[in-house]
């Protein structure tokens, strides 16, 4: 069996070209708002016999003008890989499906000598959305995590004054030292879904971002928030919450603004307590905000599909049973049994 490097090396009958960059992998956003800049990543393999210090890329939507962008590489030797990023690209102003072509035109100022492997094409969907995106922050932490307060303070400074533009959910975890007394099994399910390993752990817009010993306080910055906030939402959600004692009914609708090609979608609903106090332990925190108390119908969510419609209506309910109890910790033998008791400190503070 041939080595991997030999397998991917593209031989051409005759002399080996001096300049031959092959595009082996790429990342291009499919949905693209017409008034937002975008970026793309290219993986290049040097099939030529000469080293490469720079290359010129051409980018064009089918039937539109061509943009040329020169990039500097890290002196990719023959048989070497090179990753490049093209930022601040302008999308087509024509809405709908548009084919985007990208190819290498020059290497070290000389013409690319093998165009058969140095060009790609991908369809983008150019759209307009009037629905601002509300950024979802999912934080996995515990009242026994000693370094969590610094992360909370950092995020509070970034999010201050933008309360209408984001959602913040805190999942209490059962570690270290059996962790937070408000831990529930659905918190662990969400933790495993993101393949998280440490606390605190932050997921932004459904994607794991940081998992270091103190990730939120050191890595999350205002520019990251602003970059995520730039593009509008692909789906608009209307939501209402009705309360009858300890029963909460959640209903609403989802309206797609673009064709939703991915039909493996799920809707997640959570009941959240705005602030809790009784679960404080050995950290410097005295209160905890936006603590998740229930997930409807479960942590796995509800499958949804826009294949035959552009609007979906939904409804679900949850009843907090029995009386309030504060467990000693997140020990599986001590946690709340939701079938007969609850951990809600103030039902007036519950929202969806």
Q: Count the Cβ atoms, other than its own, within 10 Å of residue 216.
A: 25
Nearest to 281 by CA among 120, 118, 155, 141: 141
- Please list the pLDDT of the chain residue by residue as tens digits (352 residues): 555 555 555 555 557 889 999 999 999 989 999 988 898 899 999 999 999 999 999 999 999 999 999 988 776 788 888 888 899 999 999 999 999 999 999 999 999 998 889 999 999 999 988 888 889 999 999 999 877 877 788 888 888 888 888 999 999 999 988 999 999 999 999 999 998 888 888 888 887 665 544 445 567 888 888 877 777 888 999 999 999 999 999 999 999 888 887 678 999 999 999 999 999 887 678 899 999 999 999 999 999 988 777 889 999 999 999 999 999 999 999 999 999 999 999 999 999 9
d(CA 254, CA 134): 14
HSE-CB at 162 with a 13 A cutoff on CA atoms is 19
Q: Classify the C-alpha dihedral 324-329-332-334 as positive or negative.
A: negative
Helix or strand holding residue 244 (H, E):
strand 235-244
What are φ and ψ of residue 21, in 5° steps? -100, 125
Nearest to 32 by CA among 150, 164, 125: 125
pTM for the full model?
0.79
CB 147 within 8 A of CB 198: no
Q: Characterise 290 by phi-psi region: left (phi > 0), alpha (psi -120 to 50), beta (else).
A: left
């Amino acid at each position: 069996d041939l080595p991997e490097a030999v397998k991917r090396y593209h031989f051409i009958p005759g002399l080996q070209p001096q300049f031959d960059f092959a595009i082996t992998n790429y990342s291009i956003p499919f949905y693209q708002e017409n008034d937002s800049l975008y970026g793309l990543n290219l993986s290049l393999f040097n099939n030529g016999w000469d080293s490469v210090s720079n290359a010129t890329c051409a980018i064009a939507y089918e039937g539109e003008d061509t943009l040329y962008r020169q990039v500097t590489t890290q002196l990719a030797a023959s048989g070497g890989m090179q990753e490049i990023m093209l930022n601040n690209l302008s999308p087509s102003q024509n809405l709908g499906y548009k084919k985007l072509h990208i190819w290498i035109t020059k290497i070290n100022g000389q013409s690319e000598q093998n165009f058969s492997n140095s060009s790609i094409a991908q369809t983008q969907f150019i759209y307009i959305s009037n629905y601002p995106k509300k950024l979802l922050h999912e934080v996995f932490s515990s009242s026994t995590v000693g370094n969590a307060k610094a992360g909370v303070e950092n995020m509070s400074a970034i999010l201050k004054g933008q309360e209408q533009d984001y959602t913040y959910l805190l999942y209490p975890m059962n570690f270290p030292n059996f962790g937070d007394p408000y831990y529930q099994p659905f918190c662990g399910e969400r933790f495993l879904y993101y393949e998280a390993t440490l606390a605190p752990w932050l997921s932004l817009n459904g994607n794991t971002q940081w998992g270091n010993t103190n990730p939120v306080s050191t890595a999350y910055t205002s520019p990251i928030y602003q970059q995520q906030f730039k593009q509008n939402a692909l789906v608009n959600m209307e939501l209402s919450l009705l309360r009858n004692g300890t029963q909460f009914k959640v209903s609403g609708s989802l309206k797609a603004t673009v064709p939703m090609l991915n039909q493996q979608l799920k809707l997640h609903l959570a009941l959240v307590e705005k602030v809790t106090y009784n679960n404080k332990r050995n950290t410097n925190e005295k209160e905890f905000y936006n603590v998740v108390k229930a997930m409807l119908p479960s942590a796995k969510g509800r499958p949804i599909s826009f294949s035959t419609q552009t609007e979906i209506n939904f409804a679900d309910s949850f009843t907090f049973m029995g009386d309030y109890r504060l467990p000693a910790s997140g020990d599986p033998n001590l946690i709340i049994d939701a079938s007969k008791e609850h951990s809600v400190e103030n039902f007036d503070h519950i929202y969806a």
